[in-house]
Amino acid sequence: MPLLELVELDPDVPGRRTVPLSLAIEPGQCWGVLGPNGAGKTTLLHALAGLRRPASGEIRLRGEPLSRLSRRRIARGIGIVFQQHHDSFPATVRETALMGRHPHLRAWRSEGPEDRERAHRALRQTGLAALAGRPVATLSGGERQRLALATVLTQAPALYLLDEPTSHLDLRHAVVMLDRVREVLADGCHAAMMSLHDINLAARYCDHLLLLYADGSSAHGPATRMLREDRLEALYAHPLHAVETPAGRGFLPG
């Protein structure tokens, strides 16, 4: 059974008419979402997380309609890293990472040793353990982005939705962050879908791709089938050149 299934879904992209989309995300898969600005990448991820009502169609989490599930049930199955981060109240890095455990706690129950260990491990994995006691407000944009990943790693959902996960990150931290995501998927029980602007990161990390075109249409399938010059040139309305490298195929603008 797919972790997440989209059935004739129109995510209701503002100002854009969208061709309904059907696809299934299976355990172990890493999906990349590519498309020009305004194509609806963020809107789609918010709909899949249950944060935005689609115009039509259905989203199913492990076979159950998302619209019938409680927020707690959804948060146990789906975690999201947002593109923008806002500090709703003062908290330390450690406290923020621990918030990822809230969907798993009973009412009025505080975090236990296992929850704290999960948070500490996630902070180590994202290189933030030394900053655990720092107020979040003192972090740089890149550090906040890494903390967002640490929080969702602490949450440990079945499906990770990542909206521009490498924004604000330098090259090394972008690679480390996406390496952590691939490590999570290695057990074959989890899946991820991430929106990206960097075609080469998509080529390196994603085994499936969803292409969202400016006219509201889409195409999806294995990355090897989607990563073609003709498809990508049509997607971005710009010429591209494929290059072969020791790390695999890459793309340069023409």
What are 149-199's pLDDT values in tens digits?
999 999 999 999 999 999 899 999 999 999 999 999 999 999 999 999 999
Roughly how many angstroms between the first and final C-alpha of the chain, as a whole number?
42
Q: How confident is residue 15, by pLDDT bands cut at 50, 70 and 90? A: confident
Pick the CATH number of 4-88+157-253 from 3.90.1720.10, 3.40.980.10, 1.10.8.10, 3.40.50.300: 3.40.50.300
**Rounded-to-integer distance, Cα 43 and Cα 52, Å:** 8
Is pLDDT of 138 > 90?
A: yes
b/e map 106-132, b = 16+ CB within 10 Å: eeeeebeeebeebbbebbebbbbeebb
Residue 137 makes CB contacts below 8 A (sequence gap 6+) with: 87, 90
The proportion of the chain whose per-residue pLDDT surpasses 90, expressed as a percent, equals: 87
Q: How confident is residue 127, by pLDDT bands cut at 50, 70 and 90? A: very high
pLDDT digits over 54-113, tens only? Answer: 999 999 999 999 999 999 999 999 999 998 777 667 899 999 999 999 998 876 677 889
**Rounded-to-integer distance, Cα 45 and Cα 241, Å:** 29
Predicted TM-score (pTM) of the model is 0.95
Q: How many CB atoms lie within 10 A of CB 167?
A: 15
| Alpha-carbon distance values, 108 to 39, 111, 157 (Å) | 42, 10, 21
- Rounded to 5 degrees, what are φ and ψ at 189? -105, -15
Q: How many CB atoms lie within 10 A of CB 225?
A: 12
Alpha helices in the chain (DSSP H): 41-48, 71-77, 93-98, 113-125, 141-155, 171-185, 199-205, 223-226, 229-236
Asked if residue 158 lies in contact with residue 104, where contact means CB atoms within 8 angstroms, the answer is no
| Coil, strand or helix at 195 | strand
